[in-house]
A and B are shown apart, each in its own frame.
Chain A
């Protein structure tokens, strides 16, 4: 017994000794200081270059002049110092440490046009360089994000990353932005990528706390309108963004990565004297283009007060379009609702630290007015990032970001009491400013429309968000080549909104929260208050081990575990029929149904990733991820995703002898990922909802039968690509081809109602995205004073609904857009009625010269036979076909960067081609008589009744949405050192300056469906994207 005990003790002691020697490594250490300068090929200092001691946690980065200084306790002998930074090739330098205490080590880095030596973190085993990657990952650096007069990180990303279609859906100052990486990846849920900021999974939901009423959408499908929460991230805090386009790269993110991953890294501290950066920008936002309006001196029919909709309304028996006219004064209401907005963006930050403690702290204030009167957005953001070395093997990081944002809004586009639609829906012959003897506004005609003056002056909508993002991490490197990483991330926000529509003094339709005529006080006016509280926490733990099997072959193993939990709570109180003055819900006579939705879910996953590297030429990686989530059905609780990739750098081989081509790399990758977001926290259950019925509790089952064994939509992606560098990387080319298949697509499929349900939500469908991306970088001129860089990106994606379990799913939408999902067609096409054409492709016209709607026999969803009667006019049932496609043929970007001495000029052109927009507003303007076609009918240039004859033909609303935009222009002048300042830069920027398009509305880059996956390219009362000018000064001291 004693013997055993002693033995154990001895062993334990031995173990302890070993452990201690591993952990503390106390032998032969010396406190040294290493400093130097990192320069580019022309000898200019490069800021933000990371300088690290290889195989340790020790490191710093260079300051604005390229200088660095690093104090560390290091083992004597040979040490490798690594210099790396975005846009430059990584360089390793050997440093012989002897008895001295200070060392000078300079480095000159070569530009890395293709970013091959960039360290990529997202979806890879720790710190892989791009050279090794088997799939395409793009990186965008800070300088490129903040130049283009944008105030939103996603907006700033437009045109800067391949494979992404980034659309600003609304021109509101906090307007929603959607990001589609390689097309749509779902039907039933969001297609927005997963966002990670410093290891924190950041929620990017669009939740309506304003525009709250359910009958606001009239039971229709309005999409995802409003702000998405990435608006909270201050672009000035960002160091770089990594974008993973597809499953092949994103597989280790498992069930959340179907739509790709966007990882954002914020700025961090560096050792050295504290550096204060300050920047201030002043902005002006203005309407880029006005739409034409009717100037005709007359209207049809009688007084505007009793007959406002004169173009398409009939009178008399038998009903006929009136042809008599009444003289009217016409107004341009655009001058009233639009007003240039001013804004400021102020940032101050301090970064600094010692060799063990580094910090970055920033404060920012943004205020930006919209182009619609009385709309604005304000954001305060504070950030603190801390890096602390605890010992030679342990380091700690922490980050904290507090954001408070406030926006003053107007009702969203998809209603007829939004600013844009309030002027779209009325004839422009009403003096909307006129008031009666009591000072009240007057009704706009007899149809119960909201007066635009009420919308601009009286309707109030406000949204306030308080958000905290926090992260903490620990890195432990017990022995050489082995490290463990742990990150905890937390995202917590409360979004609260209020809406107030005061009772109208005149006839407004109850559907627009008026009281009708005679005014019903119990319906007149609306108030709501809503809050959405969201909490998410994620833990990520990983271990990495790297070792050399022999001189040529090395291995990297990563084992990880991740756990995520989220909780949300949405509360809404609302009512209509308001007492005067009262803006809150208790003032309502008719209390409308409240909402109180709570949800909780968790997901956990473990992954193993193994990489092999042969001679820095051939790289092979394989990974497995096993996920489980509370939202999956019991039988589908665990989901396995696999990934494999390989890349071969031919130019690194011994036989390579093409001098002009310095790089040639081939890569291939396969990966799987899942989509969790399509499944609600409890959507696998058949539940009973409750609603009061005349004072009693009523419970009812939904008409959709839930699948208790629901599983995530699963994506399988193949990606093949190449990277090529010519003439010493003066010219670079990357090409990617991909096929993404999404199977187990969740579709709400109709079932026979005699089952007791109308539909079944099940994993029955599949869709496909196929396409390619080309990125060309060139540096045609590089010399000491003048530099010219060109970057161009070309993306083409083909989307197809492969199987949807039925031939057609047609959505009923507010703007009347016949949005459809049709087997074999791209998702979200417009499927509707169209113009009859003769054999020569000309419109078939009747005796009055009016175009005709096509009729005949509809043989199937896509096949029809037109019918003609004896006089050659269409006959039969009204036919439908695909009349438009909101998915572009291609998107492209061309960026030119020129720098001459201290001047920098950056010009970015974005193109989106071959896209159709559902221009509901343009057609409405003709129908109510304020548009340019109506003017022709009023003036007799078009026959009376022309608009009425084509009004019902849905094809008439399809507009050409292709454009080329002068997206960003930025001119800056670096004054350099000036008095006590280290660096002063002046910049003048513009955004969305010019658009070359044939679009009949304000701006083809629009979506009234917000961030919706299937409602795309719909123009219905959405605020156009403003043209923005900005002037800024940035200083460092």
Chain B
């Protein structure tokens, strides 16, 4: 009988101690569906996109790679360690730039992931019942999707508007048009909504949505040479407001931390990498802003780990208006806006960026005024990732010509894209 007791005890024990569960909930990380099912999940994604776009926390950020690539291709920056082959390729340009270039590769990856995540925000915003919250999510989705498309369109001839398997590429004009539409739709939504305070406290208000949507729309309209639209949007921007990416000692300003501080990666150029014909005038107070190095090699918007980087600066809005008027033939208006930039005192600029120069005194021809606008853009927007686009739009000497001011027109498509997507377009010749 004892035997039986042993066996009963044994089976009771074994039944009590075993179980056969096959599903365990991951307590560390939510799955995608869970993230996009709550408002808190989606505000987290909005900040997460910002993290990926602007901080080198999740791989090289778009902001960092755009500034580096643009800077090297157009001579804003120099390479301090020739052993750094990817950077040297961009500096030397032409056929040296390989489709396998690491800077371009991570630039492409990060920015397309931003596009993909932003689209998920737009798609999932419909799940939210409260209209104001739904619109808030949609607005951020539109903002980052437009930024992703617009930024890529400054460096590649064709870019995917929508991500997904075997994504289709659109010519850059079309892509920029989409970016403009996304931004304008977001502006319209913003006008009709009151964004909940709790939502804004989760996403942060250092990016002024209203003005950023207008400013980016102005920027992309200008690239499309939609002069009237560019003027309309740029003139609506409140120039006293700032829109920046915030950093701190843990989430560091990427250009300072990864680019400048080690004095072993890239270096700024005292002459801003401009030819003598475009050299900043004596007394231009923007030059010390751009080029004065602190003890840790920091300068301009990259003084230290915690220096914020602006999404746009007020001077860009003034120069967009100047350029649009000049292109329309309204030279007087153009000079008026050029002078707003030339005579701006540092103290009058929210970023303390001001030339404090006398008004424009050059010839009143369209060509001369456009060149003045170009020169001012290069000083006002130094190291903000704009020069390659500007250089093409203002027909500056291209690669292979005498006095070339850029070493590429557009970049080759990353090898990883070509290997995985049959729709990848042909690489540009240069």
Contacts and interface: CB of A to CB of B under 8 A. Distances in A.
Q: Do A and B come from one complex?
A: yes
Interface of A: 23-24, 390-391, 393-394, 474, 476, 486, 488, 518, 522, 537, 539, 541, 563, 590, 592-593, 596-602, 604, 628-630, 637, 681-682, 685-694, 696-701, 703, 750-758, 806, 952
Contacts, number: 180
A752 B167 contact: yes
Which residue, of A24, A694, A703, A754, has the highest number of chain B Cβ atoms within 10 A? A754
The 5 closest A-B pairs by CB, nearest first: A756-B116, A752-B420, A699-B44, A700-B48, A687-B29
Contacts of B17: 488, 537, 539
B113 interface: yes
Interface in B12-58: 14, 17-18, 20-24, 26-32, 35, 40-41, 43-45, 47-52, 55, 57-58
Nearest to A812: B102
B109 interface: yes
A601 B26 CA distance: 10
Nearest to A24: B3
Contacts of A393: 3
A813 to B, nearest CB: 16
B416 A598 contact: no
Given A694-B251, A750-B419, A755-B163, A688 B35 contact: yes
B32 A701 contact: yes
A699 B247 contact: no
Contacts of A691: 51, 57
Interface residues on B, range: 35 or more
Majority SS at the chain A contact face: strand
A687 B247 CA distance: 25
B342 to A, nearest CB: 35
B202 A752 contact: no
B380 interface: no
Given A688-B32, A754-B164, A394 B3 contact: yes
A604 B20 contact: yes
Given A593-B250, A693-B251, A758-B113, A23 B50 contact: no
A596 B35 CA distance: 19
Nearest to B47: A698
B295 A518 contact: yes
Given A539-B17, A563-B18, A696-B203, A756 B44 contact: no
B3 A391 contact: yes
B249 interface: yes
Given A541-B14, A590-B250, A685-B31, A750 B49 contact: no
17 contacts: A391-B6, A474-B10, A476-B7, A488-B17, A537-B17, A637-B22, A685-B26, A686-B32, A688-B30, A692-B251, A694-B246, A696-B47, A698-B44, A699-B45, A700-B117, A703-B59, A755-B116
Nearest to A632: B22
A522 B250 CA distance: 11
B109 A598 contact: no
Interface in B341-397: none
Given A756-B164, A757-B113, 19 more contacts: A390-B6, A518-B295, A522-B249, A590-B249, A628-B22, A630-B21, A630-B22, A687-B32, A692-B251, A693-B47, A694-B246, A697-B47, A698-B44, A699-B45, A703-B109, A753-B109, A753-B113, A756-B113, A758-B109
Contacts of B31: 685-688
A540 B160 CA distance: 55
A687 B30 CA distance: 5
B417 interface: yes
Contacts of B329: none
B51 A690 contact: no
B28 A682 contact: yes
B164 A592 contact: no
B27 A753 contact: no
B2 interface: yes
A701 B117 contact: yes
A449 to B, nearest CB: 15
Contacts of A751: 416, 420
A491 to B, nearest CB: 15
A590 B248 CA distance: 11
Given A390-B6, A703-B59, A754 B24 contact: no
B185 to A, nearest CB: 22
B97 to A, nearest CB: 13
Nearest to A878: B85
Interface in B149-206: 160, 163-167, 202-204
Contacts of A394: 3, 6
Given A537-B17, A630-B22, A703-B113, A598 B32 contact: no
Contacts of A699: 30, 35, 41, 44-45, 47-48
B50 A753 contact: no
A188 B12 CA distance: 41
A567 to B, nearest CB: 9
B303 interface: no
A688 B23 contact: no
B160 A754 contact: yes
B115 to A, nearest CB: 7
B284 to A, nearest CB: 28
A600 B26 CA distance: 8
A57 to B, nearest CB: 13
Contact of A693 (B2, B27, B50): B50
Contacts of A697: 40, 43-44, 47, 202
Contacts of B47: 693, 696-699
Contacts of A390: 6
Contacts of A755: 116, 163-165, 167, 420-421
B121 to A, nearest CB: 11
A699 B108 CA distance: 20
B267 interface: no
A753 B108 contact: yes
Contacts of A698: 44, 47-48, 50-51
Contacts of A474: 6, 10
A74 B231 CA distance: 107
B414 interface: yes
Contacts of B307: none
A754 B3 contact: no
B83 interface: yes
A267 to B, nearest CB: 26
B112 interface: yes
Contacts of B50: 693, 698
Contacts of B43: 697
Given A688-B44, A699-B35, A753 B414 contact: yes
Nearest to B29: A687
A23 B21 CA distance: 35
A593 B251 CA distance: 11
A758 B117 CA distance: 13
A474 B250 CA distance: 56
Contacts of B3: 23-24, 391, 393-394
Contacts of B18: 539, 563
Given A688-B35, A754-B417, A756-B113, A696 B14 contact: no
A196 to B, nearest CB: 18
A20 to B, nearest CB: 8
A630 B24 contact: yes
A755 B420 CA distance: 9
Nearest to A22: B3
Q: Could you say which of B24, B49, B246 has the most chain A C-beta atoms within 10 Å of its C-beta?
A: B24
B163 to A, nearest CB: 4
Contacts of B51: 691, 693, 698, 700
A613 B249 CA distance: 72
Contacts of A600: 24
Contacts of B420: 750-752, 755
A837 B2 CA distance: 84
A244 to B, nearest CB: 26
Contacts of B41: 688, 699
B416 A752 contact: yes
Nearest to A576: B249
Nearest to A700: B48
